[in-house]
Amino acid sequence: MSATLPPLVLSIQSHVAWGHVGNAAAVFPLQRLGFEVLPIHTVQFSNHTGYGQFRGQVFGAEHVREVLLGLRERGVLPRLAAVLSGYLGDADTGRVILEAVGEIRQHNPSLRYLCDPVMGDVGRGVFVNPAIPDFLRDQAIPFANIITPNQFEFELLTGSKPANLQEAVKVARQLRGRGPDVVIVTSLSTPDIPESELGTLAVNGEGAWLVSTPRLALHPLPNGMGDVFSATLLGRLLAGQALPQALELATATLYALVEQTADGARDLPLVAAQEQIVAPGKRFVAQTLA
């Protein structure tokens, strides 16, 4: 009696040998949640930039295309349940990803494409190639099923700065109108969210939900938090969880990992605290919003 093959997820983003960002943050959580992950790296560095100096190489679009060609020749692409993309070296690489997603959808119309529109963050500003924001706004976002910008990226994509939670929901719904079914906004902080908390907002065609968690006083915050969140959220959705429950579980996992990060550490304790990926110890309720 043969075992059932786990669903396949293609993850195309950066990779580091030391630390947990990009594929080095996303692959392991998806594996712990029961998925077979096919990672394609857009860069390979010795370590992430949070450590300062690093070495390695940015891979061009042709490198990504070549790896995808090999997977196509193996007959793997039609079997994919989802595609996850994160940090892109350049817009040409992004276009190769969209071509692949379009091809896979011809075989599997139910394919889920989660685009984490990595562009920047509060305090750091935009840290990607100048062509990336336009590519994400005009090409990738309309193509994606799920997007997971942080608040800085959300405001950059929409050209707005919501004054309150109600406005954030309204703008997220407008963003849905440009293509994606699910819009998640992480690290949300508006005047009507208590200063001691951070919000994660989720909006789809059925409603809007907010999960609030306490702010953790870590300095600096570890890198790769968004990468882990997006991967965990995708895994929960692929496992059949409804959006509010997937939001609760992904947020709980990230909170637990950050909570167990040593002060001053640059990386989440993915391996040491891996049980928090599968069964997070704390749960935060998804509040239904009007």
**Positions of E strands within the chain:** 8-18, 36-47, 56-58, 80-85, 112-115, 120-121, 125-126, 146-147, 182-188, 197-203, 208-214, 287-289
**Residue 244 covered by a domain:** yes
Which pLDDT does position 246 carry in this prediction? 98
pLDDT tens per residue across span 200-222: 999 999 999 999 999 988 778 88
Domain that holds residue 268: 6-287
Of 267, 283, 278, the residue nearest 17 (C-alpha): 267
Q: Is 105 within the bounds of a domain?
A: yes
Q: What gap in Å lies between CA 156 and CA 5, rounded to an integer? A: 40
Q: Does 262 fall in a domain?
A: yes
In a domain, 210, yes or no: yes
- pLDDT score, position 3: 61
Q: Is residue 102 assigned to a domain?
A: yes
pLDDT at 1: 43
Q: What local confidence, expressed as pLDDT, does residue 225 receive?
A: 94
185 located within any domain: yes
What is the residue-wise DSSP string for 153-222?
A: HHHHHHT---SSHHHHHHHHHHHHTTS-SEEEEEEE--TTS-TTEEEEEEE-SS-EEEEEEE----SSPP
Domain contains 1:
no
Domain total in the chain: 1
Gap between the terminal Cα atoms of the chain:
50
Q: What is the CATH number of the domain that holds 233?
A: 3.40.1190.20
Strands, E assignment, 55-95: 56-58, 80-85
pTM here is 0.94
Q: Is residue 110 part of a domain?
A: yes
* The two three-digit tokens of residue 180, written as one number: 């994606």
For the chain of 290 residues, list the mean pLDDT of each consecutive stretch of 10.
76 95 97 97 89 90 96 95 93 96 95 95 80 94 97 95 95 96 96 93 97 89 93 98 98 96 92 96 92
